[in-house]
């Protein structure tokens, strides 16, 4: 697979805006895909945020392997970062966000109180790569549909302040994605979860990657979803068999689209592509 180049102008602008607006917020909510706790993080963020307090929100936790999610939360905790598993679509975990933000900012709030300042709403910024669920999270936090949602990368274009009662004010920002993926596996993982445009990859390559992953880490899941599947088959041979079994005959592109859709929707079971046991702790 060729190195993926995808860094639209509005994302370069977003990076500048984040850097400029950072001084106006108390804390950053870094939204990642629970299936990709590392690969869906933007490596530029550490450089941009520096010492700014943050909470990592592992969204779409209902689609991720729960054992892996628990271990990832512990992993971030060991790095001194609070992490929380959420499912923005179903509002699961949402009510814990503000209390966690207050806990992270308790020293600042105590200093403000000692200086005689009136309690202010926490000002926060939600950051994440495209299609990780920022707009859905905003809608759940505010309690009404105020942010445009879409199931494709790059829906959010502008920047706006949103008020959540008297406790929280949110600055929504477009997703930022790094200029290129030097690691081919990261590109594949992002594509398999829908974080980057399908047109950037060959669907058969992506399908083979997904099927190989399930065969290795979740044996039996392919067979459970497609009763006619022979999991001993590899790559293109398995796609051909699935294409026949799904009634698509020789329309392999259509079969690939269906398989990728099934994986993204969790129809092959819950999974986590970034494996905690493979993390380099150095």
Per-residue pLDDT of the chain (282 residues), as tens digits, is 445 555 556 667 777 778 888 888 999 999 999 999 999 998 778 888 888 999 999 999 999 999 999 999 999 999 999 999 999 999 999 999 999 999 999 999 999 999 999 888 999 988 888 888 888 998 888 776 554 444 545 444 455 678 887 889 888 666 676 656 667 888 899 999 998 877 778 899 999 999 999 999 999 999 999 999 999 998 899 999 999 999 999 999 999 999 999 999 999 999 999 999 998 754
Q: Does residue 108 form part of some domain?
A: yes
- End-to-end distance of the chain based on CA atoms, in angstroms? 28
Q: Are residues 168 and 218 in the same domain?
A: no
Is 136 annotated to bind a ligand? Reply is: yes
Is 131 annotated to bind a ligand? Reply is: yes
- In the beta sheet, which residues pair with residue 184? none
CATH value at residue 244: 1.10.1580.10
Q: Does residue 228 form part of some domain?
A: yes
Q: Are residues 15 and 117 in the same domain?
A: yes
- In the beta sheet, which residues pair with residue 87? 92
Is 60 annotated to bind a ligand? Reply is: yes
Closest CA to 169 of 148, 141, 146: 141
Query: How far is Cα 210 from Cα 268, in angstroms, rounded to an integer?
Result: 10
Q: Are residues 136 and 259 in the same domain?
A: no
Is 279 annotated to bind a ligand? Reply is: no
Q: Are residues 257 and 153 in the same domain?
A: no
Query: How far is Cα 39 from Cα 61, in angstroms, rounded to an integer?
Result: 15
Q: Are residues 114 and 27 in the same domain?
A: yes
Q: Are residues 99 and 235 in the same domain?
A: no
Is 135 annotated to bind a ligand? Reply is: yes
Contact 193, 151 (CB under 8 A): no
Q: Are residues 26 and 157 in the same domain?
A: yes
Is 40 annotated to bind a ligand? Reply is: no
SS3 (DSSP) at 154:
coil
Q: Does residue 45 form part of some domain?
A: yes
Is 59 annotated to bind a ligand? Reply is: yes
Domain span holding position 229:
202-273
Quick one: pLDDT at residue 7?
A: 58
Quick one: pLDDT at residue 154?
A: 47
- Residue 63, C-beta contacts closer than 8 angstroms, at least 6 positions apart: 34, 35, 266, 270, 271
Domain stop point among 172, 194, 216 = 172
């Amino acid at each position: 697979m060729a190195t993926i180049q995808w860094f639209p102008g509005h994302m370069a602008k977003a990076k500048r805006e984040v850097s400029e607006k950072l001084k106006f917020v108390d804390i950053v909510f870094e939204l990642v895909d629970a299936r990709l706790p590392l690969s869906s993080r933007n490596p530029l963020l550490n450089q941009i945020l520096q010492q700014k307090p943050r909470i990592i929100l592992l969204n779409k936790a209902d689609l991720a392997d729960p054992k892996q999610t628990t271990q990832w939360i512990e992993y971030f905790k060991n790095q001194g970062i609070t992490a929380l598993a959420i499912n923005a679509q179903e509002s699961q975990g949402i009510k814990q966000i503000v209390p966690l933000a207050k806990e992270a900012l308790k020293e600042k709030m105590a200093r403000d109180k000692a200086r005689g300042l009136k309690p202010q709403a926490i000002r926060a910024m939600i950051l994440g790569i495209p299609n990780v669920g920022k707009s859905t999270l905003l809608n759940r936090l505010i309690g009404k549909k105020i942010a445009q949602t879409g199931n494709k990368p790059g829906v959010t274009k502008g920047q706006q302040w949103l008020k959540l009662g008297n406790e929280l004010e949110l600055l929504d920002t477009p997703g930022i994605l790094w200029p290129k993926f030097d690691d081919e596996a990261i590109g594949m993982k992002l594509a398999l979860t829908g974080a980057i445009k399908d047109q950037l990859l060959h669907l058969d390559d992506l399908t083979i990657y997904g099927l190989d992953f399930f065969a290795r880490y979740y044996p039996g899941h392919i067979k459970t979803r497609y009763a006619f599947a022979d999991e001993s088959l590899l790559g293109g041979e398995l796609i051909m068999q699935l294409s026949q079994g799904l009634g698509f005959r020789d329309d392999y592109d259509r079969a690939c689209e269906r398989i990728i859709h099934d994986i993204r929707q969790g129809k092959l079971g819950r999974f986590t592509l970034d494996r905690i046991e493979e993390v380099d702790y150095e």
